[in-house]
Chains A and B, each alone.
Chain A
Amino acid sequence: MNKRKVIEKVMLGVISSLAIVSAIPIFAIVINIYSEGARHLTLDFLIDLPPPPVGGRDGGIGPALIGSLILTSLAVAIGGSIGFFTGLYLSEFSHTRLAQYTQMSLQIMVEFPTIIIGLFAYMILVAPLKRFNALAGAFALSIVIIPYIALNVREAYRSIPYTLKEAAFSLGVSAPTAYLRILLGTAKRGVLTALLIGMAKAAGETAPLLLTILGTTFTYFGGLDQPINAIPLLIYNFALSPYERWHQVAWGAAAALLTIILTIFIISRLMVREVKI
């Protein structure tokens, strides 16, 4: 009798410790990044041009920040529309063959190494245009986020109680109206969460941008057919450089990115909360 109790206490202790260990890194990461980078987060830093490797002024992440904003908005616009309607289709027409194939495709897309998506975007948009360009980067990002948005939108619509759906259709309105105006109201929170998840992903991904946008030093935005910079790319480049000043900029950029991700995350959690019926 006693032996089993002892084993129980030990195992529960082991499980708890392991669980806590697995949660430690996130706290360590957030603390480390803010302790190294938060001091750089001034308005100047967010708008200024990057500093030269040595000498000169302190500089900032202006072009990268604007670039990220543009790329993310574009990616969410493209990936969000495709993802939304795909998710809607999956939810309401789940019995069709196409739905099953699409479901499988999305599952495969989620697990795709993002560098391969970058290769694809390079082949389709960079090589023919003969220039590194922002559109290729946005395109690659949108491919990355389509499965996340689609699967979440599908859940959002699937979880609408059947009674509500029946009621919507019994009103005698057309299908588009039913799905997009009436039922969307109920699914709104789920859909917005999906878009926020997509936004967070698009803001943070690097590999799709590595082969497509090149990066810029002075240019905030030169046009969709020109190179552009982005915060994750800047972090990657500056972190691997040997210049202490660029390391500092990388930490600052990481702090900025982390703040953006945390904000999006908190907003999406707060929204989901209110759904509790």
Chain B
Amino acid sequence: MRTSTKLVITIVVIAVLISIFMLSSWHTPTQQPITTYTATITSTPTTVPLSGMINGAGASFLNPQMQAWASRFYEITGGRIQINYQSIGSGAGQAKFKEGILDFAGSDPPLKSDIYNEFKGKGGIIQFPVIIGTIVVVHNIPNVESGKLRLTGEVVAKIYMGEIVYWDDPAIKVLNPELNLPHEKVIAVHRSDGSGTTRVFTAYLSKVSETWRSKVGSDFTVAWPVDEIGNGVGAKGNEGVSAAVQQNPYSIGYIETAYAYSAGLKIALLRNADGNYVLPTKEAVASAAKALVKVLPRAYEDWSHIFPDETVDPPGRESYPLTSFSFVILRQVYEDPVKNAILKEFFEWVLTEGQKPENIVEGYEPLPPEVAVIGLDGLKLLRTG
């Protein structure tokens, strides 16, 4: 009997789909209640094993640390809870969060004020720091080692404005008398996508250079003057900037410190507000964080007027200028009770267990307890309606 080939194919396709359904459910590991560890945070143990997938996206900076946390949490819950975080850039994270397409957003700067205001009528949001990050200025000058090149914020601003073109410009030479700087054009690498790292970096440049502030400003994406003279390079994600600096001799770039370490890039010293040249060491970051603690709002408030414009380049003898927090942004209202519970569990874990040294990826610094409590308080506001 002649059967239509089309029919056969349809049957095969359906069979494949069914077997895939079965295969993927086979991969969900065995039931395991997560009461064992929640007992340390809340006093009411949960008896129903929570399971599900949460979708978050945003800052590429946060990505390595978030993946580590998600991985660890996946293990702890026996695979029942899948925190799916994709690195698409802080700008994209906030944009998609605004559209309600993501459960949470990861972002270097806090939520833009116009998006914050939009959510006021929809139950509001909470945003809180989850980790301390630092941005480093990296370079690829052959023969100049890591930790040797001295730069100031004004010089960096001039480079990205295209006013300083060569590495042996007097402005750079005067800071580095002992270095043999070549007469080569500075290739300024920056982000091509909407980036929270860019937002923080340009906030710093705006604070130290009035010309930058009026001419360029600070945002997820800016119009880089250095592009107009042809010495700018755009790269996607911290990942892209890291790769671009690695591939281009005589380049300069700004990236989150974790990426610089893992790629073995050369880091420049930055002059802080007190006049000292520092690297993002533990002490430098702690000093900066101490200065920042004083100005912190609550999780449900609008942080956009303070972060990062007021908080970059903090005072302190050892403070590292480009110290910043990385934020997670959540809605206050999630109608799905399971999602609600998972988000609470996960982020409570992140703010407590997740801050312990064994769960921190190299290049990040844990939050001081006074800062972690902002998030813990904020999470109490999560509700279903």
Contacts and interface: CB of A to CB of B under 8 A. Distances in A.
Do A and B touch each other in the complex, judged by CB within 8 A?
yes
Interface of A: 52-56, 62, 66, 69-70, 73-74, 76-77, 80, 84, 126-127, 130-132, 180-181, 184-185, 188, 191-192, 195, 214-222, 226-227, 237, 240-243
Contacts of B82: 216-219, 222
B84 A240 contact: no
B6 interface: yes
A54 B55 contact: no
Across chains A and B, which 9 residue pairs bring their CB atoms closest together, nearest first?
Answer: A242-B242, A218-B82, A220-B24, A221-B24, A241-B239, A130-B100, A242-B239, A242-B263, A216-B84
Interface of B: 2, 4-6, 9-10, 13, 16-17, 20-21, 23-24, 27, 53, 55, 57, 63-64, 67-68, 70-71, 74, 79, 82-87, 99-101, 236-240, 242-243, 246, 259, 262-263, 361-362
18 contacts: A53-B262, A54-B64, A62-B27, A180-B4, A184-B4, A185-B2, A192-B9, A215-B84, A217-B67, A218-B74, A218-B82, A220-B23, A222-B53, A227-B55, A227-B84, A237-B87, A242-B242, A243-B262
Given A52-B68, A215-B86, A241-B239, A126 B101 contact: yes
Nearest to B85: A217
Given A52-B71, A184-B4, A219-B82, 11 more contacts: A52-B67, A53-B67, A195-B9, A216-B84, A217-B70, A219-B84, A220-B27, A221-B20, A221-B24, A241-B237, A242-B242
A214 B56 CA distance: 10
Contacts of A237: 86-87
Contacts of B21: 221
Contacts, number: 115
Contacts of B99: 127, 130
A69 B17 CA distance: 8
A69 B5 CA distance: 21
B243 A219 contact: no
A10 to B, nearest CB: 40
Given A54-B64, A77-B13, A130 B240 contact: no
Contact of A130 (B16, B57, B101): B101
Contact of B5 (A62, A74, A192, A241): A192
Nearest to A214: B86
B167 to A, nearest CB: 23
A7 to B, nearest CB: 44
Contacts of A215: 84, 86
A55 B68 CA distance: 9
A56 B361 CA distance: 12
A276 B246 CA distance: 55
A66 B84 CA distance: 16
A54 to B, nearest CB: 6
A77 B262 CA distance: 44
Contacts of A70: 17, 20
